[in-house]
């Protein structure tokens, strides 16, 4: 498993359902990752393209956007953690709000997925986040703690699991909490949930070239999960530089 403690910042490019072969070729030609020991850059293309990156990626890691909660068997269309491992995948996003919302994933599914990943030496990036309604009802901390308690498997620790805090209302909207709110929430996430106090905790939701430096430099933020802006290679190069 990759040694997470050596990184000061982690950048995850979540391509979602975007990109094709020619896009990948152009992207890889232009991607500039410093061979720094301090930054960890993880590219998560659609699953079908994972093998196109294998052995080509230099100075960065391959991640998947999702995985089956099952190990093997009669589960048509599923892909197992073990297969990801065969293809050199080191990280996997689980419990993204789009999976929770559009594919009815619940905390238990997410826990099972994370558990299978850890078993196969892949680091799960477990996503948590509140909706706008929950935020407006002042339920953010309660919602996050519930997700943390119910979607993180018991075998998770700071060496084998990453958390990504992504307010649902900030994803793809161009809206973000203020810098102070992000720092405060990350602080509270750690303080209220001793189990994950020392975990790497990333922020996600409308991270872009304008706000990334300030967010990444926050004391309690260990990196960023970047969707839309990670598809713009010039912008992404500048963010990870």
Render the burial of 12-50: b for 16+ CB within 10 Å, e for the rest.
bbbbbeebeeeebeebeeebebeeeeebbbbbbbbbebb
Tell me how far, at minimum, the Cβ of 170 lies from ligand PGA, in Å: 6
Tokens of 162: 């990453």
Per the annotation, the verdict on 159 as an active-site residue is no
What one-character DSSP code corresponds to residue 173? Answer: T
Ramachandran assignment for 150, one of left (phi > 0), alpha (psi -120 to 50 degrees), beta (any other): alpha
Q: 96 an active-site residue?
A: yes
Q: Is 92 in the site for ligand PGA (CB under 6 A)?
A: no
- The reply to whether 63 sits near ligand PGA by the rule CB under 6 A is no
Q: How far is the CB of 32 from ligand PGA (least distance, A)?
A: 20
- Rule CB under 6 A: choose which of 84, 122, 125, 171 binds ligand PGA: 171
Contact status: 42 vs ligand PGA (CB under 6 A): no
Q: Which is nearer to ligand PGA, 84 or 226 (CB)?
A: 226
Alpha carbons 80 and 85: distance in angstroms, whole number: 9
Nearer to ligand PGA, 95 or 204 (CB): 204
Contact footprint for ligand PGA (CB under 6 A) = 14, 166, 171-172, 204-207, 225-229
């Amino acid at each position: 498993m990759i040694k997470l403690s050596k990184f000061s910042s982690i950048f995850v490019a979540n391509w979602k359902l975007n990109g094709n072969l020619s896009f990948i070729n152009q992207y890889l030609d232009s991607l500039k990752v410093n061979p720094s020991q301090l930054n960890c850059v993880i590219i998560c293309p659609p699953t079908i393209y994972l093998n196109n990156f294998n052995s080509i990626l230099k100075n960065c890691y391959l991640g998947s956007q999702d995985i089956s909660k099952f190990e093997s068997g009669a589960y048509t269309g599923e892909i197992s953690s073990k297969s990801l491992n065969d293809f050199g995948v080191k990280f996997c996003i689980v419990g993204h709000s789009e999976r929770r919302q559009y594919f009815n994933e619940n905390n238990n599914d997410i826990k099972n997925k994370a558990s299978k990943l850890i078993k196969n030496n892949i680091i799960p990036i477990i996503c948590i986040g509140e909706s706008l309604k929950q935020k407006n009802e002042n339920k953010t901390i309660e919602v996050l703690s519930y997700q943390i308690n119910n979607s993180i498997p018991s075998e998770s620790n700071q060496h084998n699991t990453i958390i990504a805090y992504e307010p649902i209302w900030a994803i793809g909207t161009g809206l973000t909490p203020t810098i102070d709110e992000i720092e405060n929430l990350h602080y509270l996430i750690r303080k209220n949930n001793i189990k994950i106090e020392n975990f790497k905790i990333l922020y996600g939701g409308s991270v872009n070239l304008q706000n990334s430096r300030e967010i990444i430099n926050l004391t309690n933020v260990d990196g960023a999960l970047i969707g839309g802006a990670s598809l713009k290679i010039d912008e992404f190069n500048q963010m990870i530089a």
